[in-house]
Amino acid sequence: MSTTLTNANRQWESRPADERFASLVDMDRAARSFRTSATVNEIMANALTVSARGDDLVLSARGFEGAALNNYSFNQLAARAKAPAAYLNTLPTEIAADCLNHGLQRVADDKALQILSGSSNIRAVTSDKYSRIWNADITARLLELEARGPWQPAPAAFDGSRGLYLGERDMFAFLVDNERRIFETGPGGGLSRGFFVSNSEVGDASFSIMTFFYEYVCGNHRVWGAQGIAEAKIIHIGHDQSSKAFETMTVEVKKYAEASADEDELKVERCRTYQIGASKDDVLDAIFKLKVPAITKTIANKAYDLAEQRVDWYGSPRSAWGYAGGLTEIARDLPNASDRHQLDLAATRVMEMAD
């Protein structure tokens, strides 16, 4: 039972050279540079002023010298001012500034905004309820994991990339534990542990960690033979979300890092022996009771039929392992990455029935 994860591959294909790092030390140094150069000001929306400076739009306020908006913070500010960013981009900067100022003056008096300034520009414009999780705090903890072992950056891709990416908007890290593999003599060979961690300190995405077992990683950082996928997310809203993120990362990775091969094999063996139901109808009834949106009636039936065709690989289609294998086969062929991801998580939910 397996699927292919393309999260790291998408990063590898899209990141510019200055957002790729050969080591966690280098990535952490860059993340700390972003943080030490950052200032955060909380200012009422209608106290802000946008002015044109050549081709730049500069955001400022009384007592706040301000700086030029970058593309991302411009879009955030336009949304707050309820102005169409795509249209503003077609206007001369003086007119665009007037439009933004008009919109900001109409924002209610009690609406404060957090302005994150970097060394040369405005990096983010978020609400006063935004709870920032700094990339530098995450990279520092990844360094601790690497120092203790067995975690290390992903094997080098074709161009030498190690699955470590950091830019003004977000970060992504792909780490693996290749020292302890399970089921070395089983079908398809052994499995290693891996995880992705991602975050945006400017409001572009939530903090996320995805853990999984996998067979191998190819030169473009596609992760083949992935299974046992689990994901946890922390949104950037609420008190002390940063601490929650680090606690989540520590707990999830610690479970993987400290688990023995025997423990992991026992976990998989439980999934292989746990019978969801005595017949296909019983299995489908139990699956529907999980109320997992990704498992529609059509997918539920197809997953069972596929698992039944792979008895020599998955074992019984009535087992948690076998049925989940049918789901991941369907997921592997879905054209939409989001749909594949949701069905992979649904397969993990099925395996959790054996716990």
Place of tokens 């290390």: 152
Query: Model confidence over 250-308: pLDDT tens digits?
Result: 666 666 655 555 666 677 778 888 999 999 999 999 999 988 888 999 999 999 998 88
Residues 141 and 224 occupy one common structural domain: yes
Residue 192, CA distances (Å) to 5, 178, 181, 295 in order: 14, 6, 5, 27
Residues 225 and 297 occupy one common structural domain: no
- Residue 345, domain member (yes or no): yes
Residues 275 and 255 occupy one common structural domain: no
- Residue 285, domain member (yes or no): yes
- Residue 265, domain member (yes or no): no
Residue 110, pLDDT > 80, answer: no
Burial of 117 (0-12, 13-18, 19+ CB in 10 A): buried
Residues 236 and 199 occupy one common structural domain: yes
* Structural domain for 163, as ranges: 3-34+133-259
- Residue 127, domain member (yes or no): no
How many domains, the chain? 3
Query: Model confidence over 169-182: pLDDT tens digits?
Result: 999 999 998 777 76
Cα angle 350, 191, 211; round to 5: 55
Residues 58 and 111 occupy one common structural domain: yes
Percent of the chain with pLDDT over 90: 46
Residues 246 and 337 occupy one common structural domain: no
Residues 202 and 301 occupy one common structural domain: no
- Residue 57, domain member (yes or no): yes
Residues 220 and 336 occupy one common structural domain: no
How many Cβ atoms from other residues are within 10 Å of residue 314's Cβ? 23
- Residue 126, domain member (yes or no): no
- At 284 the pLDDT is 92
Residues 85 and 216 occupy one common structural domain: no
Residues 219 and 183 occupy one common structural domain: yes
Residues 48 and 192 occupy one common structural domain: no
